[in-house]
Structure formats: C-alpha cells, structure tokens
Amino acid sequence: MGKILKVSNLTYTYQGEKRPAISNINLEIDEGEFVVLMGPSGCGKSTLALCINGIIPNVLGGKLEGKVEIDNLDTKEHEVFELSNKVGIVFQNPDSQMCNLTVKDEISFGPENLLVKRDEILRRIEKYLEFVTLSRKKNSSIYELSGGEKQRVAIASVLTMNPKMIILDEPTSNLDPIGARGIINVIKNLNMEKNLTVLLIEHEVSSILYLANRLIIMDDGAIIYDGDPRYILEKYGEDILENVGIRIPEITQLAVRLNKKGFVISPFPLTVKEAVESILKKER
C-alpha cells in the first residue's frame, strides 16, 4: 500500500506565540492503517490534526515550517475544500461543526458545496446514515439528537465527502458510556469494513487500542514513541505511566506493574481476555 500521509520536519507556531506548539514532526501513515495518537492535554495532538487537514495554515495562519502531504497534495498549496476528499476531521464537540437544522441537510452540506450531483448526494446520505445506524433520524432536527447521535452525524457528514483518511479528535470524551460505545463500533467498522485510514486521537482508548496497527505518543509538541501498541506499552509502559501522564488500559497498567515485579505476562495484554489467556497459559 502507498503512503496516504507524509509529514516532514513540521514545526508550527500559532499567531502571536513565540513557542512552537509542535516541533520537528516526521511521520508517515500507510493507506488502511489504524493509528492511535495519545498524549497529555496541550501536547500538540489537535494542532497536528489541524495541520494534516489543512486548517493550519490555510485558515488559522501562524508560522508553519516543513511540509505536510496528504495523498501527494501539499497542504500549503491547496485550500481546505480541495483536501476534503482526501482527509476529513471529526472534532471532540460535534456542535462545533454543525451548521444545518436537520440531519439530512447537515450530511448533504459538504458534497453540495463541491457541486456533487443531487442523485449522488441522496445516495450518499442513505449509505452513510445506514453505516452509522441513523437512517430513522434522517428528517430529525439536530437539536433532538443525543450527544452520541450528533457525533455519528458528524462522522457521516465527513464520510459523504469520500475521504481516504479520517481523523477523530477525542470523539468520545463528552459522551456517556452508551454513546461512547456506539462511536467505538462505528470507528471499528470504518477501518475494518471500509479500509479507511483512521487516525484516532484520545486520552483513554482501553476499548479500542487492541484494534490499532500503531500507537503514537506525543509529549511537549514532539513524538516520543511510535510503533506497535503492544511493543510500545510493554517496553515503555512504566515511563508512559510515570512521566508522560496519560491513561492506558487498566489491564495494561496491571501488566506493566506485574512485569516490574518479575511476574512477566506474555504475550503482553491489551485486553482483559488476553491477560486471562496469558496468565492461564503461564500457570499450566
């Protein structure tokens, strides 16, 4: 598979600030990868996401050094609307990206502005509402929806642009457990069924980390770890817990502490089921 994203020597400073929000970021992501990006608040995760989809520097300005290419398009040379069928972004608060009164109008807004034919827009509305299990809400007011339903509408709205990559910036942080579970199921299907490249930004990913091909951890505007999730957490879990200050799955925290005391769980678990299987295997 080819590279959907190439980030080279990226440094970005917000307008009016002296200190860069992110510094010397180098990153490549393959088509179809499922990447989880973690880091403490203020470390630069969301800034990196805005650089990838072109909002930085095309909308927010500031000083951008280096290069970001999404599907071979340089984000400094193309407007956000030109990049919208390459990469889409779903924000933490779905209300921040809603601009219509009804579900169907919200979902059709993007392709309408790209002059997609009406028949094709209607087809996409049906297709992606079904994908996020909201077909029965097509004619509903946005204001009648729960937080989880709004987030699913936001995802469907991005999907109607037919992007090759989707960025989800802490999409479950404001949701109750039921709403969060619904979003997690949609995210799983995005990658597994549609083979869409997924970049998921989260503080806590206990219920989905095992599905990721790759884990990237940022701190203080830089990437400090990048690799297979199991390897990263087994080798650097103690440092991540004590010094980086982010939450990793509780079962993984337990495995890190047991390993430190000499009770090595192998293979290193990312889920409770994996931990039970590894411990039972060890006891035989």
How do the domains of the chain map onto residue ranges?
3-247, 249-284
Q: Sort strands 214-219 and 63-70 into parallel, antiparallel or unpaired.
A: unpaired
**Strand, helix or coil at 58?**
helix
Structural domain 3-247, CATH architecture = 3-Layer(aba) Sandwich (3.40)
Total-model pTM: 0.91
Mean pLDDT of the chain: 89
End-to-end C-alpha distance for the chain, whole angstroms: 41
**Strand, helix or coil at 25?**
strand
Closest CA to 45 of 183, 256, 205: 205
Query: Radius of gyration of the chain from Cα atoms?
Result: 20
Q: Are 36 and 200 in contact (CB under 8 A)?
A: yes
pLDDT in tens, the chain (284 residues): 689 999 999 999 999 899 999 999 999 999 999 999 999 888 999 999 999 999 999 999 899 999 999 999 999 999 998 999 999 999 888 888 888 999 999 999 999 998 999 999 999 999 999 999 899 999 999 999 988 899 899 999 999 999 999 999 988 777 777 777 788 888 888 887 778 899 999 876 666 788 889 999 999 999 999 999 999 988 888 888 788 878 788 888 888 888 888 888 888 888 888 888 877 776 65
